[in-house]
Structure 1
Amino acid sequence: MTLPKLPLSIQNFAEIRQGNICYVDKTELVWKLVDSGKAYFLSRPRRFGKSLLVDTLKELFEGNRALFEGLYIDDKWDWSKQYPVIKLDFASGVLQNRAQLDERIQTLLMLNQQRLGIECDRRFDLSGCFEDLILKTREKYGQKVVVLVDEYDKPILDNIDYPERAAEVREGLKNIYSVLKGQDAHLQFVFMTGVTKFSKVSLFSGLNQLKDITLDENYATICGYTQTDLETTFAGHLAGVDWVQLKTWYNGYQFLGEAVYNPYDILLFISGNRRYRNYWFETGNPSFLIKLFQQKAYFLPDLEQLEVSEEILDSFDVERINPVTLLFQTGYLTIKEAYTDVMGEQAFVLAVPNYEVKMALNNQLIEGYCQIDTEKKALRTELFTLLHRGAIDGLKPMLQRLFAGIPWRNFTNHDLLNSEGYYASVLYAFFASLNAAITPEDTTNHGKVDMTVALGEFIYVMEIKLDKSSDYQEQTPNPALQQIQDKDYAQKYRHQGKTVFEVGLIFNQQQRNLVQMDWRQLNKSR
């Protein structure tokens, strides 16, 4: 039997439905969406199927029933009514300034005029033209108008490296989106989607009618593939697959509901002869994120155990970029757990969604923090072998080689080097790239040790100290190791049947390197 084709890079609903192409029926959620309200906003990471969802809505409101035969919504929709649709799609091209944005908006408005058979008054500015288009469309078709906006935020994200330019572009978009508030009486349905959610003050001040369904459990799976989707729609393509491995690599995105896979990952995994690779991550480089982490001297080990308020996840602004907000909204972090904090407010525990993202993000972090090159990639392999064997005698020279290879001129304008946090961040990034189990600020009943690293049959309990003297003299005893022993940080690991090493690391700010390392081995005990 010939298997249906894969909808790889196809965002056109009609093309999928008219061909022998796999389609995951999302129309039950679409029906709930349309039946329950009028104006929505949805944020999801890139390559998550947002554009296909927007196109599905377009075909539905235009009344193209043949495309929906056999789907959930077929016998529930009133096909006797067709609604005119205005679609603004900012997905294509890179807009580098306000002038290019205005030109793009003008083109989009012109394309909609041509498709709807409307001619707007040329005397109007862009917002006036959009308003005129809505009014004339309502008049011509005798029905309220549907407005769909895809990748509404892409022009801003295209300029995120340049805050002033990004703010200028944001104002241009705000000028257009604010029209929707004044035209509410003429609108049947509004749907906006993108990667990030900007604060209402900065972009949505005129769009109070939008309901944000980004973290609404009722719509958690409206984009993305569930486990059931894979076992039914893609059953033939995934016959015999190792489900545990597939889940580990690509599942784990959660939006307060059932976990989902990124569709792009799954389609490329199948089409690539089911090879496990970093498919989604390769489509976008998080270089800006890495720069942001460096600029804000972010303590990388915090990524292992992030607990944040709903406010931090809720909105993003170019003048005050929170790297955690950006990591979540762009898909590098996802919700692991939701709970109510002591103040009665919703809070979240965040985590990297899956192995694909963890491995690729860690590689980017060590490149950003260590300026890794071919030599350091070889060093990483050596470090993995060393830790996995418990050959701790070789750890000090290996770490010294790592820090000696970092081009410090790249950090001359940062306060990053003046704290233990930088050295802990470099170590975290390097150890995390080995897929080691890392517990930063590992809590015991006597306090917190800086970092615990577990790999194979060995556990390394590490304390870091930063010495700021100009002429470092080796200290006896090593204060970092002494602290581990005095507070018995390793106690919790004594009975796990593994070999435990207590490791005291001292870095010197002037030498910008590890200057002293002492250790003690605790024998296995059960």
Structure 2
Amino acid sequence: MKTLPIGTQSFEILRSSDFLYVDKTEHIHRLITNSRVVFLSRPRRFGKSLLISTLGELFKGNKPLFEGLYIYDQWDWTQQYPVIRIDWTKIRHDTKEDMVRDISDFLQSIASANGIILTRQYASSLFAELIESLHRTTGRKVVVLIDEYDHPILNTMDKSEAEGVRSELQQFYGILKASDDHLRFIFLTGITKVAKLSVFSVLNSTDDITIDDQYASICGYTQAELESNFAEHIDATAAHLGVTKENLQANIRNWYDGYTWDGKTPVYNPFSTLMFFSKRKFSNYWFETGTPTFLIERLKKQNLSQTVLEPVIVDSTVFNSYDPEELEDIPLLFQTGYLTIKEERQVGIEPEYTLGVPNSEVKESLMKRLLSAYTNYPASKMSPLAKEMLRQILEYDVEGLQNSLRIMLAGVPYTLHPKDEKAEDENEANYHIIFQVWMTLLGFDIQSEKLTNRGRMDAVLLQPGLAVVAELKYHATTKTDTLLDQAIAQIREKRYYEQFLDRKVILLGIAFSGKEVGCRIELKIENE
């Protein structure tokens, strides 16, 4: 059983040792054959650095590393090129001065390793001199591979140094166009496609392959790749957990699959998949390694929680660029991996895209963080509380559920509890979001404001053989008992449960009145 390459981003180490490697060289061959200046956006920890490393070894002509891979018989190994590989995660950029100093030292080290003496002073000038000198001394055009090109921008986004860092990078990337005669191939990876940065404005021919269906699985693992490359790990993990292979694969797919960049080719998150086979337990591996607090707070403040609760329909402008000075939320959520393309369809002559949360790992983690942000209840305690609440609903434990709700909502800010009714609509909307996020966290499918032939129900939560039809009522002054009467009566009168009569139906009413919360759980009477 091959060793899982956790934390290993070097193609040379993977291929020189007994590490598992999923062959992506057919995509790479197509890419190099068809394009010369390429940009790829993928979320963090999605295999971009390994892809860059693979390209570097290929252009350097390290033939033995590729034996047994698709490209081995497709590549002209007599053609070797000098490679400049820049990984911006390894360059200090706390200030513009730090960044200029570090990148200058890095370029000097490449020059020294190639017997070149650089004489120019500024970082961008050194970059240009290095490219020209490598071309001149080797007689081969230069390959430039830039990993996480936007890392300094994202890390200084809300800091005073941001403008200086962006300005310096603009000059630095501008060298690529000026050095075009000396370049064989340029490949840039990043999380975002940053607007107002010369790498895109001056390189007009940049091939952005982010949502190109030819490269939809260039990073991540397809279902076929998972089954063929991880077969031994699947068998061993199924035996360890005492489940069937089919059951295990269904759960892995639910937790870690679902990212698509063309709406039809789902791939597994490679980091979470590797971690799962290593630890042999389901957990939120990718989400917990770096989800920024500002993103959760932004979802809350901008009232964008509905964005991750229900599908979002967008056009292609969402994928075009990202302006760090004017954050747009949907592009940010897509580019950082919290939304993915669920469907692409043609509307007239323009494509239209449906975006949604990729899988259970991201969905559950987002729900916990969002619910914690709205209620101030610790995210670390959300899962046990949610499991207890689900048990209380299924066992008709009204008193227990009511107490659990009070515990969860005890820290809700006072601003959600006005003494007058002027802000009632806004508060009802906030409680609806809390209600929907909470129910999603319980593990059901939620269909908010689902339309029936008798009107719109607030939510229906489905499990095999079971439907929980829920109605939420909010009023600043009306007593909770009155609101609960109204909620249950509305479900019965409108017969929201009619399409679920083939299963057991539970009626759930939730009421908020000021800071008071109440609930009622009833079983639908047969023949009702």
Indicate the residue corresponding to 1:279 in structure 2: 285
Matches for 1:489-500 after TM superposition, within 5 Å: 490=496, 492-493=498-499, 495-500=501-506
Aligned residue for 2:460, secondary structure, equals strand
Out of 245, 252, 257, the residue aligned to residue 251 of structure 1 is: 257
Out of 357, 381, 386, the residue aligned to residue 380 of structure 1 is: 386
Q: Provide closer, same or farther for how the CA distance between residues 416 and 118 of structure 1 changes in structure 2, counting only shifts above 3 A.
A: farther
Indicate the residue corresponding to 1:133 in structure 2: 130
Matches for 1:336-347 after TM superposition, within 5 Å: 336-341=342-347, 344-347=349-352
Is 1:317 matched with 2:314? no
Indicate the residue corresponding to 2:241 in structure 1: none
Shift of 1:422: 1.7
Out of 469, 478, 485, the residue aligned to residue 460 of structure 1 is: 469
- The structure in which a higher percent of residues are helix is 2
Residue type of the partner of 2:302? K
Indicate the residue corresponding to 1:289 in structure 2: 295
Deviates more, 1:66-75 or 1:202-211: 202-211
Q: Provide closer, same or farther for how the CA distance between residues 294 and 416 of structure 1 changes in structure 2, counting only shifts above 3 A.
A: farther
Shift of 1:93: 6.4
Shift of 1:516: 6.6
Aligned residue for 2:334, secondary structure, equals helix
Indicate the residue corresponding to 2:487 in structure 1: 481
Out of 348, 355, 363, the residue aligned to residue 350 of structure 1 is: 355
Aligned residue for 1:204, secondary structure, equals helix
Shift of 1:458: 4.0
Over the aligned positions, Cα root-mean-square deviation in angstroms equals 3.2
% same residue: 36
CA deviation profile, 1:269-322 (whole Å, cap 9, x unmatched): 2222x2222222222133121121123122436532222222224332222223
Aligned residue for 1:435, secondary structure, equals coil
Matches for 1:63-462 after TM superposition, within 5 Å: 63-92=61-90, 95-123=93-121, 125-160=122-157, 162=158, 165-199=161-195, 204-239=200-235, 240=238, 241=245, 242-256=248-262, 257-272=264-279, 274-300=280-306, 303-341=309-347, 344-373=349-378, 379-392=385-398, 395-408=401-414, 418-454=426-462, 457-462=466-471
CA distance in structure 1 between the aligned counterparts of 2:172 and 2:526, rounded to whole angstroms: 67
CA deviation profile, 1:472-521 (whole Å, cap 9, x unmatched): 6679677963994698271554524232426363444xxxx346767876
Shift of 1:168: 3.9
Is 1:12 matched with 2:21? no
Matches for 1:17-56 after TM superposition, within 5 Å: 17-56=15-54
Shift of 1:228: 2.1
CA distance in structure 2 between the aligned counterparts of 1:91 and 1:489, rounded to whole angstroms: 57
CA deviation profile, 1:326-374 (whole Å, cap 9, x unmatched): 2221222222111123x54222222222222222222222222222237
Shift of 1:41: 0.5
Deviates more, 1:444-453 or 1:149-158: 444-453
- Partners of 2:256 and 2:272 within 8 A in 1: yes
Residue type of the partner of 2:360? Y
Shift of 1:35: 0.5
CA distance in structure 1 between the aligned counterparts of 2:326 and 2:46, rounded to whole angstroms: 26
Task: Using structure 2 for the length normalisation, give the TM-score.
Answer: 0.87
Shift of 1:211: 0.6
Q: Provide closer, same or farther for how the CA distance between residues 348 and 163 of structure 1 changes in structure 2, counting only shifts above 3 A.
A: farther
CA distance in structure 2 between the aligned counterparts of 1:504 and 1:81, rounded to whole angstroms: 70
CA distance in structure 1 between the aligned counterparts of 2:14 and 2:381, rounded to whole angstroms: 47
Aligned residue for 1:41, secondary structure, equals strand
CA distance in structure 2 between the aligned counterparts of 1:238 and 1:378, rounded to whole angstroms: 28
Q: Provide closer, same or farther for how the CA distance between residues 417 and 258 of structure 1 changes in structure 2, counting only shifts above 3 A.
A: same
CA distance in structure 2 between the aligned counterparts of 1:507 and 1:323, rounded to whole angstroms: 32
Q: Provide closer, same or farther for how the CA distance between residues 126 and 378 of structure 1 changes in structure 2, counting only shifts above 3 A.
A: same
